[in-house]
A and B are shown apart, each in its own frame.
Chain A
Amino acid sequence: MAGNKRLMKELAENQSTPPPGCKISLENDDDILLWNVTMTAPSDSIYAGGNFKILIKIPKEYPFKPPVLNFKTKVYHPNVTNDENGSMCLGMLRPDEWKPPNKISDVLKLVRTVLAAPQPDDAVEQGIADQYKNNRKEFEKVAKDWVNKYAK
């Protein structure tokens, strides 16, 4: 299986030099396909001070198929589904956009960027996106509330 050597290497790299704001471990020691990420929000973002748990499920076909990301910590964000999945909509994870040389660290860097700078035009939560666009104050208030409630 082509993916294994690659995946071992990626894991090692991510643990020795993790992407900014991330801490990476395996969810279970014997399963390389389930990664556990703790992401600290950028300090200049409204999510500052929040630590978000993200679960990365890696398909058997990786890297030919993209990994799947779920926010395990509730986050008030137009691009993250407000349900038990906490799925984030990321262009690069779409099957027609994903390219096998793409790496999980690239994905995590992008996640952190989008976390800090929501993309309301690409939203999965339309209500939150509308609020983000039309009533930023209220949006920021709820987002900060949620950080205090769930991400501390």
Chain B
Amino acid sequence: MPIATRKRKADSTTASADATSEPQRKLTKVSKALQKDSISQEQAALPATPQTLTSDKGMDSDDDFNSVASSMDLGEEMSSSVDFGAGESDVDIDDDYQDDGAFDATAKDLAPKRKHFEVEFKVYSPQDIQSQQDTQIAEVANLLEQPSEATAILLRHTRWNKERLIEQYMDNQEQMLDKAGLGQEINQNPPRVVVKNGFTCDICCEDGPGLETFAMNCNHRFCTDCYRQYLTQKIKDEGEAARIKCPGDGCRKIIDAKSLDLLVPNELTDRYHQLLMRTYVDDKESLKWCPAPNCVYAVECGVKKRDLNKIVPTVHCECKQSFCFGCTLPDHQPCPCVLVKRWIKKCEDDSETANWISANTKECPKCNSTIEKNGGCNHMTCRKCKNEFCWMCMGLWSEHGTSWYNCNRFEERSGTDARDAQAKSRQSLERYLHYYNRYANHEQSARLDKDIFHKTERKMTLLQSTSGMSWIEVQFMEAASQALQQCRQTLKWTYAFAYYLARNNQTEIFEDNQKDLEMAVENLSEMFEKPTDQLAGLKVEMMDKTTYCMRRRVILLDDTAKNLKEETWKFNVELR
């Protein structure tokens, strides 16, 4: 069983009294899903036994997970909620089965029943993955009455599709064994090293007496030195494991784990098994390695490639990395993978035009003195003339809170002045820069926010130890800082998304949500620039603003994801 799972189970112990109908409803839904789409259900299943072979399968947590793939088809009915990282802060807004008011008074009204931007997933450790493989191998080995080494090769051959393997095997055993690189008589003759006199090795041409030799049951015999060197090179230099063939000329027989263990030194067997695990995860569409450097976890998610224009499957690893299961880039909600790819490509192509944006200094729009940005907040105040303005659009800050001002929306100039090609191309560049500016700015601001938080944290610790002040609870600042990071990450991608949106009502609603989140984020970010000694007194205010930020984020993401799922967005490009 997986140990590192972040999914909450909807059993009656976590459900509150007034939510008792929930798990019931859910089970019905799951069984409906199972009937409706047993094929995708099977594919999504990791440790499950083949449906066709066992009948005693209960509604355990595995089935519960299996419904992920089918839930895509059920539209609204995403069957249960998944923690989306808010658990790292103390702003918890994610649980369907959370008791009303028991945890957070506001949780109920800001958490809709099922959030459209969330997907179910599980995180697995290397041990989990190993035992999954072992379980499946043992099951199938038992069924096919084949040794587990051969079964492993068969399973890898069909990319761990048990049903297909069993079907093809039952259909034509001989052909199946052959195609997978296994000869007949796999049960006989356990692999062993044989000393052969009068034998000439076809690889090294050695023919001395007492030569140790090895052959699999295809009878391509070579001296053990050559066999070993061949395997070593495949594993070490070529990173091959699951599909290493017999060294014999033209022979397609796959080397099995038992023969390999017999021939190569321990450190190489370890590497071999590591590589096998890699291919296991690589072979399964429902499994991906966490892309964080040095992270050993893999994530399982039922979202398929074909669904990626309808959902952005952000998953959260044990190592705290949030990434997109579709493309393994860092979390890019609400923007779908295709648009992300397009946007990144565009930014690379146009990097020169856009370079000036990353500059850290600008001039005050009123008195022209140089202003440096050192915090994440975009609300700037000129030291000299006290002009308050917005870093992104250089407009008056006082107008940003008003309903008629749009810092985030690109106002296309009306037709008359964009008639000739030059004006058109200038306008399209302006449009791109508008969005790129905001995209890049949030990336930069997120960094600056983090810097300033760490500085503040250090200052507070210092203040406490030098002044003998009582310990100040700084947890709330940590939470605020994390919320800022998350919200800026989201905001950043809203601009890439908006760049590809066609102008219509729905887009305007999106921009309103975006603007609300912008303001919420700037208000919170601003607090970090307050003098350190005032921060303790601002705890409640900061916590409120943090909660508000997260709420705005959820609203924006949920609305966007819902429309994505229903395919109601109008884009100015094809989603290809």
Q: Tell me the A residues contacting B by CB distance below 8 Å.
A: 2-3, 5-6, 9, 61, 63-65, 95-96, 99-102
Contacts and interface: CB of A to CB of B under 8 A. Distances in A.
Interface in B235-261: 238, 240, 245, 247-251
Contact of A101 (B206, B233, B240, B248): B248
Contact of A5 (B206, B229, B248): B206
Given A5-B206, A64-B233, A99 B238 contact: no
List the 6 closest pairs (A to B, CB-CB), nearest first.
A2-B204, A100-B203, A101-B202, A6-B205, A101-B249, A64-B233
A61 B240 CA distance: 17
Nearest to B223: A2
Contacts of A64: 229-230, 233
A5 B225 CA distance: 14
Nearest to B202: A101
Contact of B226 (A9, A96, A100, A102): A100
Interface of B: 202-206, 222, 225-226, 229-230, 233, 238, 240, 245, 247-251
B201 to A, nearest CB: 8
Contacts of A102: 249
B249 A99 contact: yes
Given A96-B240, A100-B226, 12 more contacts: A3-B204, A5-B204, A61-B233, A63-B203, A96-B238, A99-B248, A99-B249, A100-B222, A100-B230, A100-B247, A101-B203, A101-B249
Contacts of A95: 238
B233 A6 contact: no
B232 to A, nearest CB: 9
A1 to B, nearest CB: 9
A93 to B, nearest CB: 14
A2 B203 contact: yes
B246 to A, nearest CB: 8
B223 to A, nearest CB: 8
A2 B232 CA distance: 14
A95 B204 CA distance: 19
16 contacts: A2-B203, A5-B204, A6-B204, A9-B205, A64-B230, A64-B233, A95-B238, A96-B240, A99-B247, A99-B249, A100-B203, A100-B222, A100-B230, A100-B247, A101-B202, A102-B249
Nearest to A2: B204
A6 B203 contact: yes
A96 B204 CA distance: 20
A2 B245 CA distance: 20
A5 B245 CA distance: 25
A131 B251 CA distance: 36
Nearest to A6: B205
- Of B202, B230, B251, most buried by chain A (CB within 10 Å of CB) is B202
A118 B203 CA distance: 30
Interface of A is mostly: loop
B514 to A, nearest CB: 47
Contacts of B226: 2, 100
Contacts of A99: 245, 247-251
Contacts of B202: 101
B326 to A, nearest CB: 29
Contacts of B203: 2, 6, 63, 100-101
Given A64-B230, A100-B230, A5 B249 contact: no
Contacts of B250: 99
A106 to B, nearest CB: 8
Given A95-B238, A101-B203, A2 B248 contact: no
Nearest to B225: A2
Contacts of A63: 203
Nearest to B243: A96
Contacts of B230: 64, 100
B238 to A, nearest CB: 6
Contacts of B245: 99
A63 B225 CA distance: 13
A126 to B, nearest CB: 25
Contacts of B229: 2, 64
Nearest to A4: B204
B224 to A, nearest CB: 11
B247 A101 contact: yes
Nearest to A100: B203
A112 B230 CA distance: 28
A95 B239 CA distance: 12
A21 B94 CA distance: 76
A96 B181 CA distance: 15
A100 B234 CA distance: 12
B273 to A, nearest CB: 21
B511 to A, nearest CB: 48
B205 A5 contact: yes
A2 B249 CA distance: 18
A95 B249 CA distance: 13
A61 B204 CA distance: 12
A52 to B, nearest CB: 26
A142 to B, nearest CB: 36
Contacts of A9: 205
Nearest to A99: B249
A108 to B, nearest CB: 16
A64 B240 CA distance: 14
Contacts of B205: 5-6, 9
A102 B249 CA distance: 6
A99 B250 CA distance: 8
Contacts of B248: 99, 101
A2 B202 CA distance: 11
B204 A65 contact: no
Contacts of B222: 100-101
A116 B251 CA distance: 27
Contacts of B238: 95-96
A64 B230 CA distance: 6
Contacts of B204: 2-3, 5-6
B220 to A, nearest CB: 8
A6 B248 CA distance: 16
A9 B229 CA distance: 20
A118 to B, nearest CB: 23
A3 B230 CA distance: 12
A10 B544 CA distance: 81
A61 B233 CA distance: 9
With most chain B CB atoms within 10 A of its CB, the pick from A5, A95, A100, A102 is A100
A137 to B, nearest CB: 37
Contacts of A96: 238, 240
Nearest to B244: A96
A22 B247 CA distance: 27
Nearest to A7: B205
